[in-house]
């Protein structure tokens, strides 16, 4: 069993954030039939579906249908979002059975102060509503050193509106029941044109997780934004066969020995964090 599988239901986003690598692929959304097929093929491989790799999940018009379908088949759905559409679509996803919502507060780090305050306040209100229905909400500030002082403003708004315990733990802060805040360093996305990062690497790709892009391409991890490491296609091939392919096995065995078998992995700063 994999801890999670990233299913990119759309590679379309409504924002252009400074920290995001972006992608060069054609804009695409998964159809209901395609998503249903993916769920069938993931049976027995994972319990948790994450609805992104690139793209903003809340831009997909069929997202509530996907959430209901996944819940009916025993999966737990985790959405990572920039939060800008939660005012419009928050109630939809709560009713549809989302398990957890990660909100990247740093998506708005370039906004004006008043605009940012309104944004964070609306997300705090959503978090309260979600927590009341048993849904976990995690605010993310994965931008240490790049926030321009705005992280303090965001935290102040959350404290003002949510109150709570604010108990520190190994990953961040438990604000109150079902509501958390995570801190993290801004990371460098892998890029085929970047420099090789070192001579020793480790990654949880294909060990704890893998990704499926909007066109069905299977990739080792959630950072392969352009599908450079194409392992096969989940729409046409058996996912278990893809994961047991010679190429996939070589990647896993390489990381066990501190080696990167794929060129993109050698250019990934994130693969240096666990060495």
pLDDT by residue (tens digit) across 244-275?
999 999 999 999 988 989 999 888 877 777 66
The pLDDT assigned to 201 comes to: 84
Give CA–CA dist 127/137, Å, rounded: 6
Which two tokens mark 245? 């392919």
Give CA–CA dist 196/192, Å, rounded: 9
Residue-wise pLDDT for 219-252, tens only, equals 999 999 899 999 999 999 999 999 999 999 999 9
Run of H or E residues at 243 = helix 239-243
Give CA–CA dist 14/84, Å, rounded: 9
The pLDDT assigned to 27 comes to: 96
Q: Which residues of the chain have pLDDT under 50?
A: none
- The DSSP code for 212 is E
**Phi, psi angle pair for 219, to nearest 5°:** -125, 160
Give CA–CA dist 168/145, Å, rounded: 20
Give CA–CA dist 137/81, Å, rounded: 11
The pLDDT assigned to 116 comes to: 84
The pLDDT assigned to 269 comes to: 78
- How many other C-beta atoms are found inside a 10 Å radius of the C-beta of residue 218? 25
- The DSSP code for 233 is B
**How many angstroms separate the first and last alpha carbons of the chain?**
24
């Amino acid at each position: 069993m994999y801890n999670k599988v990233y299913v990119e239901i759309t590679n379309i986003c409504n924002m252009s954030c400074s920290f995001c690598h972006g992608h060069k692929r054609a804009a695409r959304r998964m159809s209901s039939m395609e998503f249903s097929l993916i769920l069938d093929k993931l049976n027995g491989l994972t319990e948790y579906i994450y609805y992104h790799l690139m793209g903003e999940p809340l831009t997909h018009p069929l997202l509530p249908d996907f959430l209901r379908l996944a819940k009916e088949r025993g999966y737990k759905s985790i959405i990572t979002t920039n939060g800008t559409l939660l005012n419009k679509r928050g109630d939809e996803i709560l009713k549809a059975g989302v398990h957890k919502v990660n909100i990247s507060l740093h998506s708005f780090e370039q906004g004006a102060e008043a605009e940012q305050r309104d944004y964070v306040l609306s997300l705090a209100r959503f978090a309260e509503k979600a927590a009341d229905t048993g849904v976990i909400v995690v605010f993310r500030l994965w931008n240490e050193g790049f926030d321009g002082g705005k992280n303090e403003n965001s935290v102040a708004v959350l404290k003002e509106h949510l109150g709570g315990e604010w108990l520190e733990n190994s990953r961040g802060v438990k604000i109150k029941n079902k509501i958390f805040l995570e801190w993290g360093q801004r990371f460098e996305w892998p890029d085929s044109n970047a420099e090789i990062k070192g001579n020793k690497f480790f990654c949880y790709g294909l060990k704890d997780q893998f990704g499926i892009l909007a066109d069905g391409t299977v990739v080792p991890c959630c950072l392969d934004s352009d599908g450079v490491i194409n392992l096969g296609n989940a729409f046409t091939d058996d996912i278990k066969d893809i994961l047991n392919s010679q190429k996939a096995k070589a990647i896993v065995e390489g990381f066990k020995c501190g080696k990167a078998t794929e060129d993109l992995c050698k250019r990934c700063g994130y693969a240096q964090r666990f060495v």
